[in-house]
Structure 1
Amino acid sequence: MIEQDYRDMLQTLSEGSVHRRFDPYLDIDWDAPEMRMDPKDPRWVLSEHTDPLGAHPWYRALPLERRIDIGRWRMANVQKVGLSFESVLIRGMLQYVMRLPNDSAEFRYCLHEMTEECNHIQMFQEFVNRTGADVPGMRALYRNTMATWSLFAKWPVVFFIGILAGEEPIDHIQKNLIREGKDCPPAMLRVMEIHIAEEARHISFAHRFLREHVARLGRIERGITSIVYPLVMRWLGGAIVVPPPEFAKRFDIPREVMREAFWKAPKSRAMLRECFNDVRMLADQLELMNPVSRAVWRWCGIDGPSSRFRGEPHRPARNAA
């Protein structure tokens, strides 16, 4: 039985999706002169504060033209990864809601979210197309198994942990770029603004969904979930953030540079941990932190302090050695 305050929250989120929504072809003037994506635009250069490769000395020592080419490809590929993940979310969420009873508040909100994610897929693909970069998205292992991920919707808690594992890193990186004040191509900035605005609803729902559903788990199920939680976060976080081998091959990036950037260097490890500050906070709230699960967080390299509140700015990666 869904508690009334949960129903009220779902109603609020659903109304927000009706009255505060975006359309990728109405709210982005793709053909405006300022939205043209110039392949030589220096604003494609990766941020040394937000991007693990952008922080690496090898990248920072490259000629400007080379840094621009690498940055444009990487930014396009991040969008391609994002749209692939959104497609998994839609498929799995659709399987979940088809088993819900009539008059379900979750059913209505999930359909709103899926509609917004369809818009995000169009928005991301339009962005990729206009960069002129023919990017593959996720690494081959993930691309080839993606169609099976939605099957985890049979276990809603695990599936929604996976949703957060994909949504939180992208949302965190985009927010940090905007907070940093990095000068981005206008089309990229507008895409991030729209995505952040609507992901606020999606992430709020996923957090509350897990609070409602984890509370119903028995002791053994909760113990298993506490271990699965960081494993899923690390696995899908890597799928979202780490570029495919085609990237290093195309730009002759040394293997050691890629290893250090993802995730051997202290600064890049700090960036990785920071992506999961909010989901560690949620794990604390769900009482999923215990001696065993904490060891798994450490083993995955994503342990650390939790956020005090969702979306709290954190900047330790800038000061890491």
Structure 2
Amino acid sequence: MTMTSTHPKPIAYQPPADKAGTDADYDQIVEDLSAASVHRNFDPYVHIAWDAPEMAIVPGDERWILDPEVDPVGKHPWYRALPVDKQIQIGMWRQANVAKVGLQFESILIRGLLQYASKLPNGDKRFRYVTHESKEECNHTLMFQEMVNRVGIDVPGMPRPLRLLDPIVPLFSTIFPTVFFFGVLAGEEPIDHLQKDFLRAGANVHPVMAAVMELHVAEEARHISFAHHHLRQTVPTRTLPTRMVLSLVMPVAMRVLCSAIARPPAAFRKEFDVPSDVFKEMFWKSRDSQKFLSDVFGDVRMLAEQCGLMNPVSRRVWKALGIDGRASRYRSEPAYEAH
């Protein structure tokens, strides 16, 4: 198999300027996103040179040590005090597990999107876009599993209760589509935020990890853009009581799925004998971890305000769940600019 490069050289899609609300504007945005899916897409077996010498995964590679500026585990004094070989083992396990969680989440998303598409009327422009997105997410599952296989650690991914709910969640795409798209963002935003932070910080990560992050971030820009535009278009059309319920469901969905993705499962604690109090500080008792949890959802808080889902009651729910804070001024605003 021929590989064309060590890293993809993606041009991140820049969505159209946010427009409030006409059907014509929304249709044009969906068309633009569909066109971008055709002209700016990536294949992990073309754009990542998995078999290049510099991509080899070898014992003792310190580039697997978790970044102390970005990763909640890497920031904790307990982790930083460990011997280097132990930091490497934990870093490989954690990053492989995040990839496995990404695969599992994308699998749920693909099934939900295809079910959602199957119920759309003929001529609906969303059919083409969500089918394009499903195809791209299939490539992401291939990419994540390839990374897990090459790291060579049998990681479980999501916590077991969420894995058991796997067959049920896609049903929300047609029964409660708004809640389904909340779930889309709740799964995509934490991974996207973490990967962008790594790339912005210039963290010294292994080339396999860097290549996976670059490709994923480039295409997730479209997927997140569609979810934002879709919710801004559809939520304001709901009745006032429905919007009130949605305003309370939104932060709960964000918090639950963020923990499922960002926090390692119980197997992590058992594998590395992580003290219970240390794990609680990492997720989410320490000041650094609380800031991370808040920063992850700056874009979603902005969206909630744009959709009319921020009200005195819902703000209390965001705060009680530890995910309140300043809303982003624009999508993907870096946390250091917001403070």
TM-score above 0.5? yes
Residue number in structure 2 paired with 1:266? 287
Residue number in structure 1 paired with 2:325? 304
Q: Does 1:81 pair with 2:98?
A: no
Runs (5+) with no aligned partner, structure 2: 1-20
Conserved? CA contact 1:160–1:210, under 8 Å: yes
Q: Which moved more, 1:191-200 or 1:46-55?
A: 46-55
Conserved? CA contact 1:120–1:195, under 8 Å: yes
Q: Does 1:30 pair with 2:50?
A: yes
Q: Does 1:6 pair with 2:30?
A: no
After superposition, give the CA deviation of every residue in 1:105-154 in whole Å (9 maximum; x if it has no partner). 00000000000000000000000000011101011111111111111112
Q: Which moved more, 1:307-316 or 1:297-306?
A: 307-316
Q: What count of residue pairs does the alignment treat as equivalent?
A: 318
Which SS does the other structure have where 1:147 is aligned? coil
By how many angstroms is 1:39 displaced?
3.4
Which SS does the other structure have where 1:146 is aligned? coil
1:278 to 281, 287, 299: 299
Runs (5+) with no aligned partner, structure 1: none
Residue number in structure 2 paired with 1:113? 133
Conserved? CA contact 1:165–1:237, under 8 Å: yes
Q: Distance in 2 between matches of 1:316 and 1:115?
A: 34
Q: Does 1:203 pair with 2:224?
A: yes
Q: Does 1:168 pair with 2:162?
A: no
Ranges of 4+ aligned residues in structure 1 off by more than 4 Å: none
Amino acid in the other structure paired with 2:46: L
Conserved? CA contact 1:39–1:131, under 8 Å: no
Conserved? CA contact 2:236–2:308, under 8 Å: no
Distance verdict in 2 for CA 1:302–1:20, change over 3 Å: same
After superposition, give the CA deviation of every residue in 1:79-98 in whole Å (9 maximum; x if it has no partner). 00000000110111111111
The equivalences for 1:138-217 within 5 A come to 138-153=158-173, 154-217=175-238
Q: Which moved more, 1:1-10 or 1:91-100?
A: 1-10
By how many angstroms is 1:288 displaced?
0.7
**TM-score, length-normalised on structure 1?**
0.97
Q: Distance in 2 between matches of 1:38 and 1:146?
A: 34
Q: Distance in 1 between matches of 2:45 and 2:147?
A: 11
Q: Distance in 2 between matches of 1:79 and 1:253?
A: 21
Amino acid in the other structure paired with 1:91: R
Q: Distance in 2 between matches of 1:21 and 1:258?
A: 38
Q: Distance in 2 between matches of 1:292 and 1:182?
A: 39
Q: Which moved more, 1:34-43 or 1:252-261?
A: 34-43
**TM-score, length-normalised on structure 2?**
0.92
Conserved? CA contact 2:187–2:257, under 8 Å: yes
Residue number in structure 2 paired with 1:45? 65
Q: Distance in 2 between matches of 1:188 and 1:299?
A: 34
Amino acid in the other structure paired with 2:93: W
After superposition, give the CA deviation of every residue in 1:27-78 in whole Å (9 maximum; x if it has no partner). 1111110111223210101112211111111001111111010001000000
2:268 to 235, 243, 247: 247
Q: Distance in 2 between matches of 1:218 and 1:38?
A: 57
